Structure 1
Amino acid sequence: MFKSLFMRLVEPTTRLSFVRGALKLGYVILFISLIVDLFAETDQYWFQRSGALLCMLAIAVEFRINEVRGAIDVTDEDLTSITEQAVITEDFIDTQTYLFLKYFSHFSIAVGTVVWAYGDIPFK
């Protein structure tokens, strides 16, 4: 049971689901924390902390897309592996999508770093 759960977590389609949702989640948390900080009267600056979270998610996405890209580029003579690679390629990793996600994750790291460093200034 645990082995099948583990195998499901490390298979490429699960990694792709993570990539699709992680940056969306990071930006949703960023905007929600901005709204909370604008309207709540507290000394806690959640907007600044959400910048750190966005950085961490964007770095994780960068690792995942490189991991999936590397798994696809591996040459294997096994028919099952070739079939799985074809499904993954059609589903996710074409060159344009890969480059878009790569550059968008880099952009998100930069945005998260700026928010993390200076996110408390507008509220002081």
Structure 2
Amino acid sequence: MFDFLKSGRFSAVFAGVIVAISALSLIVDLMGSAGIYWFQRSGALIVLAGVELQYAKLTSLWQRAVGDDTREKTSRDGELQGRAVDIKGVKANSEELRAFALRLHGGNRQNSATENVAFVFIILGTLIWGYGDVPFR
């Protein structure tokens, strides 16, 4: 169950459900819902879907950057066990951390379709949320 919530499929299904709810709320408001403005409220859901899509992109980026690397012992682990500080170990850990940061940053700079859709959802949702009632007044 929780694996599905962490997957990219969940993001797509969630975004699709939100778009369907927004379309349904637009239809309800066009038919005259006595001034409740469901479409305007659906803007908040669209923003939520955009944020979730962006979060899914970042978590998948994190998983790719980490990969199958296992955590190796650090110099701090040695200190906690009463051993002296290993300067070579500190240097190696520092280089590994820098390489990891570069991998993470490099992946973040790549635009993806998911990121573009998330951006559109956040902007469009904000506009609908703020001004979604104007056409019905």
4+ long deviations beyond 6 Å: none
Paired residues of 2:6 and 2:56 also in contact (CA < 8 A): no
Query: Would you tell me which structure has more helix in proportion to its own residues?
Result: 1
Superposed displacement of residue 14, structure 1:
4.2
* Aligned partner of 1:108 among 81, 105, 121: 121
Which of 54, 58, 63 pairs up with 1:66?
Answer: 58
Q: Contact 1:30/1:50 (CA < 8 Å) preserved in 2?
A: yes
Task: Note the alpha carbon deviations across 1:12-66, whole angstroms, 9 max, x for none.
Answer: 7842121121221121111110000000331200000001111011101111121
**Aligned residue number for residue 122 of structure 1:** 135
TM-score under structure 2 normalisation? 0.64
Q: What are structure 1's unaligned runs of at least 5 residues? A: 1-7, 79-95
The alignment partner of 1:111 has SS state of helix
Residue of structure 1 equivalent to 2:42: 50
Alpha-carbon RMSD: 2.3
TM-aligned CA distance change 1:15 to 1:30, over 3 Å: same
Q: Matched residues, percent identical?
A: 30
Task: Render the CA deviation track for 1:63-111: whole Å, top value 9, x for unaligned.
Answer: 1121012112213257xxxxxxxxxxxxxxxxx8x60110111011100
1:17 is matched with which residue: 1, 6, 9? 9
Report if aligned partners of 2:54, 2:115 keep a CA contact under 8 Å in 1.
yes
Does the 8 Å CA contact 1:58/1:109 hold for their aligned counterparts? yes
Question: Aligned pairs, how many?
Answer: 99
Q: Letter of the aligned partner of 1:109 in structure 2?
A: I
Work out which of the two has the higher radius of gyration on C-alpha atoms and give 1 or 2.
2
Determine if the alignment matches structure 1 residue 30 to structure 2 residue 22.
Answer: yes
Return the TM-score normalized by structure 1: 0.70
